[in-house]
Structure 1
């Protein structure tokens, strides 16, 4: 193998000593080991697109370019985030398709491919990431690129009915089938893609992992992304005076904290979550004055109308709950609409009895894994997890809930609040073992080995569907 060449919408800040997020952690390690190249948008929006900028950080080179205002509006905010993002998260009602969005999406991928192609060497291996860059392999193939090219989708791949409702889905399919390996987060994503191919293509399905189209063999697999478990656990253990004081206060007052931390996004199910917490207080009034819910919702894509709508709805819901239940020395909900540093977030997770992670749909949800990694082995908290998060395939010892059913979520909160220590410890040991074994480094090794044909993975598609049940002994 020659260099690893990564293509994604954005590149990371490689001047940071430590990286956050599974994608960045896994990719940076792989790039550093192979004198890699990382190409993407530099975050700038300018009418004057200057020559692509190359910078070297140790043995990793970044190749970045800006977007024009039109490209930002139509490629990024338009087709990527008003068509693909809502559709892949099962929100066809929020999809805003316009022909010019798709045309610009294709032209930006063409421009990125034209920028990258002259930089490529014959033995480079190319790894393309996420929904912004689906056409990249097709654009590179048109320029004569015969390199191994893999694609990884970080968000869910939807059901056949939903994907076939996306305008130009046939074109997206043909673009995907130009890759040598198509990677998904979950078994369900792989199965959805297979069902779509059977109904909407003439692809020959050789096996769950192999598809043949136009004389080419395409490998398909699921590769659940992980986190840097050790780093996050260490961060959670660093003293934070304000978090510790709050923990002591709650202990003295016999209170406990429920925590959620998400981007402000309609796919996260934040209004449903607040309604479920309200139902919990209604169903179990003994917890009024004792349960505190901290919802951190960092801003996201604020220039997309749907995000402004959900922000207003959350503020109204949180205000209504506090208005009904709050006392002079207790407010049931703390709602924070800004980003919180990981150095603060990790100890907040550790000091919270319940991690409430209930997206309506999510590719993986690394916050769930971070909550597990942050816990104290001796007195761990309990993860409540949506069955529609990709992480639910792995983290079966969490309390798995239907996020649309507020009674189900409310009852799970009560179960977590009353769960015996021994059961919490057993569930945590099993969850931590799996999160540790399948961390960010495991993810990138598994993917790249599969792309290079170094490993056969015939059993992996069933790996996360046969967990043993929880048995407690006294």
Structure 2
């Protein structure tokens, strides 16, 4: 197996137990076990242009990181990546803030990153590029003469042609993706949306059999849902944390239950809608007052983008309003934490919660759903409530699937989950855990790299589209 070079916008701190976002969690877990190189931004911004690199070795991983100028950060990261691509790929065209200088900065930073990485590359490296910040990265490497096998994995949804076309640069985005040897997607819907975009925007690149060839390069598509390190997360949940264990015992003595939600503070996560659904459940079932509380953990993210400060204000207002309506001196319906929580504590909190509420309005996968399942006690498991618009819903059929826009349905399913018989909970959890194990982080990474390394790999029977089920593991 060739050396693996992972490229992402931000390199994770592999020494920390807190990681934010599915990419950091899954890639960190898999790369720490396998070894390789991780390249990306170090999180620092400078006034002036600098190509100062940080090189560090953490276990089996060589971490190469670089700072970014304030101008690059503003245009590439805050601008095009998170004010254009993020809302666009989450079907929120109403929140797209397009400016020409944003796209210029996006392309410029991708070119800088490629130039900085090139001297570290070996001829037989497998380069694995991650997520929406770095769509043009392969094209920048190709322009520098790099011939390594280059794969790309998109961690967020990919929109259909009519949504993607809302960006004036949609043709450049699709053309950039056609510079990769392998494109990985979380769901069949995302993969098929890209194939439709290739057909619509570059019809000459798509053959009658559906195979994609661009500038002599065969481009394969792969549906490969991301996962977690299941056994490690189970062990964290079993180990417990004293404070969480004490809180769980207190609630057990009082006959109280807990619903939990864990998300980065983002408008795509549907957090206001679940606050309203929890309030609706209390209104419909007043007998639940003082018997159940909702714990929402929402660490800050992208606070420099206006839409994020607005969602924070909305959530704080909603939590205050609902608590003001229902709370008593010895009971608070909604507990809202706006800071990162270490994963061992999260694992213990998942295990101590009778319902996991994962209801994004649109999500590439959502690993919180899989973490919640892994954390449960098989003898007395909690119930997962999952949005039909989360990528995880394509796998986790035994969850209670809901429409996150339907407040009454979410309220009813929360009530159902809180009253579900033990035998049904056990049966659902057993099947869910089997599915979570099928796509755990190490298998996900190895399957992607196996396909990337096969230069003349045969096409799937359906053309360029391969499913995870066609790959070993």
TM-score, normalization: structure 1? Answer: 0.93
Moved more, 448-457 or 427-436: 448-457
Q: SS in structure 2 opposite 1:108?
A: helix
> Corresponding residue for 1:469?
none
1:199 and 2:203 equivalent?
Answer: no
> Corresponding residue for 1:230?
231
Counterparts in 2 of 1:345 and 1:176: CA distance versus 1, 3 Å: same
Moved more, 351-360 or 250-259: 250-259
> 2: CA distance between counterparts of 1:169 and 1:419?
47
> Corresponding residue for 1:154?
155
Q: In 2, are the aligned partners of 1:23 and 1:225 still within 8 Å (CA)?
A: no
TM-score, normalization: structure 2? Answer: 0.93
Q: In 2, are the aligned partners of 1:206 and 1:212 still within 8 Å (CA)?
A: no
Task: Identify which of 27, 30, 33 aligns with 1:26.
Answer: 30
Counterparts in 2 of 1:457 and 1:355: CA distance versus 1, 3 Å: farther
> 2: CA distance between counterparts of 1:269 and 1:58?
37
> 1: CA distance between counterparts of 2:89 and 2:253?
46
> 1: CA distance between counterparts of 2:136 and 2:330?
56
Q: In 1, are the aligned partners of 2:225 and 2:468 still within 8 Å (CA)?
A: no
Q: Deviations over 1:326-380 (max 9, x none)?
A: 1222111111111112121111110111000000011110011000000000000
> Corresponding residue for 2:113?
112
Q: SS in structure 2 opposite 1:426?
A: helix
Q: In 2, are the aligned partners of 1:280 and 1:411 still within 8 Å (CA)?
A: yes
Counterparts in 2 of 1:461 and 1:386: CA distance versus 1, 3 Å: farther
> 1: CA distance between counterparts of 2:10 and 2:435?
29
> 2: CA distance between counterparts of 1:226 and 1:406?
29
> Corresponding residue for 2:7?
7
1:298 and 2:299 equivalent?
Answer: yes
Q: SS in structure 2 opposite 1:21?
A: helix
> 2: CA distance between counterparts of 1:89 and 1:11?
23
> Corresponding residue for 1:166?
167
> 2: CA distance between counterparts of 1:132 and 1:143?
19
Q: SS in structure 1 opposite 2:340?
A: coil
- How far the C-alpha of 1:27 sits from its partner, in A, is 2.8
> Corresponding residue for 1:422?
423
Q: In 1, are the aligned partners of 2:83 and 2:97 still within 8 Å (CA)?
A: yes
Counterparts in 2 of 1:423 and 1:205: CA distance versus 1, 3 Å: farther
Query: Please, which runs of 5 or more residues in structure 2 have no aligned partner?
Result: none
> Corresponding residue for 1:468?
none
> Corresponding residue for 1:467?
none
Counterparts in 2 of 1:409 and 1:122: CA distance versus 1, 3 Å: same
Aligned residues: 459
- How far the C-alpha of 1:215 sits from its partner, in A, is 2.5
Counterparts in 2 of 1:118 and 1:239: CA distance versus 1, 3 Å: closer
Counterparts in 2 of 1:239 and 1:114: CA distance versus 1, 3 Å: closer
- How far the C-alpha of 1:61 sits from its partner, in A, is 2.2
Q: SS in structure 2 opposite 1:295?
A: strand
Bigger RCO of structures 1 and 2 (CA < 8 A, at least 6 apart): 2
Q: SS in structure 1 opposite 2:220?
A: strand
Query: Please, which runs of 5 or more residues in structure 1 have no aligned partner?
Result: 465-474
- How far the C-alpha of 1:414 sits from its partner, in A, is 1.1
1:404 and 2:405 equivalent?
Answer: yes
Q: SS in structure 1 opposite 2:71?
A: helix
Mapping for residues 448-467 of structure 1, pairs under 5 Å: 448-453=449-454, 458=460
> Corresponding residue for 2:43?
43
